[in-house]
Amino acid sequence: MEALVVFFLLLIFGYTIGSINEKNHYKSIEEREKKTLPLPVVNMKKVEDILKPGKKIASAELVTGSVVVSIDYFKRILASLKNLVAGNVRSYETLIDRGRREAILRMKEAADSPDIIMNLRIETSTIGRSANRNSIGSIEVLAYGTAIKYQY
């Protein structure tokens, strides 16, 4: 009985705070995405593809951004229920989406005012003990690329 109460408490607690968290996070992501819009990020490998005619490159450096995000208790239970019937696991979609966008934003913010970031790579890895079901749902996203500054 007590276990059931704890379970429901966790469920409600996870749902309310988790959804507020997610909403705030999305709001901040969208704001910062607007702010960093002038800096283009491309995944082209060759310099010739990104170089505007007549421009010369002054410097190039590696920039990275990473984040570890976790899913809340409610969504974790929801996802395990969804596993029974298959289909889109929406709760995990938003988790990964948040992680990727946040990592790219951090990479852009870490760069020292470059003109373009080329060869963007995104790595995703799961964190936590896979044997323990409770800790599934944390992912690390790493975004990295080469920041280019033009000569003026």
Partner 1 sequence: MILTNVESVPGKTIKQHFGIVSGSTVRAKHVGRDIMAGLKNIVGGELKGYTELLQESRKQATDRMIKQAEELGANAIVNIRYATSSVAQGASELYVYGTAVQVV
- Residues engaged in binding partner 1 (CB under 8 A): 10, 13-14, 17-18, 21-22, 25, 45-47, 56-62, 64, 66-73, 75, 95, 102, 118-119, 121, 123, 125-131, 134-135, 137-138, 140, 142, 144-146, 148
Closer residue to partner 1, CB minimum distance, 35 or 44: 44
Give me the least distance between CB of 17 and partner 1, in Å please.
4
Closer residue to partner 1, CB minimum distance, 108 or 145: 145
Place of tokens 């938003």: 94
What Rg do the C-alpha atoms of the chain give, in angstroms? 20
Give me the least distance between CB of 36 and partner 1, in Å please.
18
Place of tokens 């500054």: 149
Q: Are 115 and 107 in contact (CB under 8 A)?
A: no
Question: Where does residue 113 fall: left (phi above 0), alpha (psi -120 to 50 degrees), or beta otherwise?
Answer: left
How many CA within 13 A on the CB side of residue 11? 9
Give me the least distance between CB of 21 and partner 1, in Å please.
4
